[in-house]
Chains A and B, each alone.
Chain A
Amino acid sequence: DVKVTQSSRYLVKRTGEKVFLECVQDMDHENMFWYRQDPGLGLRLIYFSYDVKMKEKGDIPEGYSVSREKKERFSLILESTSTNQTSMYLCASSRQGAIWAGELFFGEGSRLTVL
Chain B
Amino acid sequence: SAVISQKPSRDICQRGTSLTIQCQVDSQVTMMFWYRQQPGQSLTLIATANQGSEATYESGFVIDKFPISRPNLTFSTLTVSNLSPEDSSIYLCSVEGAGLGYGYTFGSGTRLTVV
The answer to whether A binds B is: no
